[in-house]
Amino acid sequence: MEHVEKVLAVLKRGWESEERKWFILFRSPVEIWADNPTYLACELVFYVWTFLILRHACKYRGRCLLLLMAALFHGLVTESLSYILPDIDNFWHGRTMVMLLKQRLPLHIMLFYPCFHYTTNMAAANLKLPWWAEPFAVALGDLLLDIPFDILGIKLIWWTWHDTDPNIFDRTYSVPWTSYIFHLTFAASFTFLLNSSRWLFTGSSDKEKMTNNYFSEFACVIITACLSMPMAALLQFTPLYHAFHDMHGVHTEVCVCVIVGLYVMLAWSGDRGTGMEARNGTQGAGHRKRHSVFNELSLAVVIHYLFYIVLVFVASPESYRSTGPHETVGDCDSVSTINTVTGLKLTKKTFLCASNYSEPYFDFHCLSKNTVLPSNGSSYYTICGTPFPNIIEYKFMILGSCLFGLAFYYQWFFRSARPSKMKKA
């Protein structure tokens, strides 16, 4: 009994240590619900989505599980580097039930990557696109999933952005246009790297069947997880955004429109070359054979879009608050330098100026009258949500993007082919 007590004492000291709290910290869902019930709901939706894609991957196994693993590791690498590298450390997530890495990384955000990447890659496989076109179709599908998440997420203070960072200065609905470039380029790079590394190292580009070369299969996972971010930054972000925005002052919205147009043309060109087998096959002369593909993935997509449709009608952002890590408050005149991949040096305010900032989605109205604004040096404080400036416009935007996304994925899931070798393990 004495030995058991000693072991328990050691475990307790480890659990209460600062090292453990740096790595993982928990928060009561009751507390989250009191501050911002929409944020708790968002977290739970991602847990349900994760369960659905995990069930799908376990059902078919093989490369489906490896795809899930690659997306999870890719998310961990991307988020970790974003917090480590000061030039791109420009956003702060609200606290959720499970927080990682010094309360910077919510668990559901790490799961966000496999939810989006697994779903879009498996759905795009139905199109039977050529290798050069599929990454761009996946990227467009990823963007459509992201639009309502990005627009409502920032409005409901699920996270905050740096106030003066020039790389996220151009915005609509408080969403930086570079966020959309991030989703497009990172999703395309992820898919291209995973598919090409599999073909290069295993000789097989099959979507589901795993080869017997297990070392090479797992090497493809690591390569994709580690290199997707630098590949996207160097081969797409730099020539399509930094070269025009940083060097010539082109508005980021223009860059996004050009990238979307380029991706649409490439994906469409690839789709025009596919046969009827990519469109439900044929049954008799000129008759299409329909099939239902309402599975875990299509259910996840429906849940995702319905959640944001409901949310925009019931949310009341002015009644929500977020207490946690935010941009550090400090000297309003202090300026820092940002190093870009083009070699240019841009500038931003080093700190948030609590008395003069331009983030319309939060203020400090919910603090008690006796509470002063966060003092200089504060990086952990409470912010308050603000009302929708035009609720009809938000409803129109969210409803339109979600209905378009549902129609888009309906075509992928119900009016395209099944993956040729999609069989249960």
Is it the case that residue 3 has pLDDT exceeding 60? no
Question: Is the per-residue pLDDT at 7 higher than 70?
Answer: no
> Mean of the pLDDT values across residues 51-76?
94
Q: How confident is the model at residue 201 (pLDDT cuts 50, 70, 90)?
A: very high
Residue 13 has phi, psi (to 5 degrees) of -65, -40
pLDDT category at 112 given cuts 50, 70, 90 is very high
Give the pLDDT confidence score for residue 10 in this predicted structure: 52
* pLDDT for 391: 97
Q: Given pLDDT bands bounded at 50, 70 and 90, which one contains residue 286?
A: very low
Lowest mean pLDDT of 178-182, 276-280, 301-305, name the range.
276-280
Indicate if the pLDDT at residue 421 is higher than 70: no
Token pair, residue 83, equals 């917090």
- 16: confidence class by pLDDT, cuts 50, 70, 90: low
Q: How confident is the model at residue 417 (pLDDT cuts 50, 70, 90)?
A: confident
Residue type, 425: A
What are 339's two structure tokens?
């190093």
Q: What is the pLDDT of residue 288?
A: 44
Determine what percent of the chain is predicted with pLDDT higher than 90: 76
Per the model's pLDDT, the better-predicted residue between 254 and 285 turns out to be 254
**pLDDT higher than threshold 50 for residue 26:** yes
111 vs 370, more confident = 111
Which pLDDT band holds residue 15 (cuts at 50, 70, 90)? low
What's the pLDDT at 378? 93
Model confidence at 88, in pLDDT bands (50, 70, 90)?
A: very high
The confidence score (pLDDT) of residue 275 equals 61
Q: What is the pLDDT of residue 135?
A: 97
Separation CA 249–CA 242 (nearest Å)? 9
Average pLDDT value for the chain: 90
CA distance 76 to 316: 32
List Cβ neighbours of 99 (8 Å cut-off, separation of 6 or more).
24, 25, 26, 27, 105, 106, 107
pLDDT tier, 420 (very low <50, low <70, confident <90, very high otherwise): very low
State pLDDT tens for residues 118-128. Answer: 999 999 999 99
Among the residue ranges 13-22, 26-35, 69-78, 314-323, the one predicted with the least confidence is 13-22
Question: Which of 209, 203, 52 is closest to 125 using CA atoms?
Answer: 209
Q: What's residue 274's pLDDT?
A: 66
pLDDT tops 90 at residue 47: yes
pLDDT band at 283; cut points 50, 70, 90: very low
362-363 vs 345-349, strand pairing mode: unpaired
Number of Cβ within 10 Å of residue 337's Cβ equals 11
Residue 281 pLDDT > 90: no
Neighbour count for residue 126 (Cβ, 10 Å): 21
Q: Which two tokens stand for residue 222?
A: 């690591």
Rounded (5°) CA angle 80-166-308: 65
How confident is the model over 332-357, as a mean pLDDT? Answer: 90
Residue 95 clears pLDDT 50, i.e. is over it: yes
CA distance 276 to 255: 35
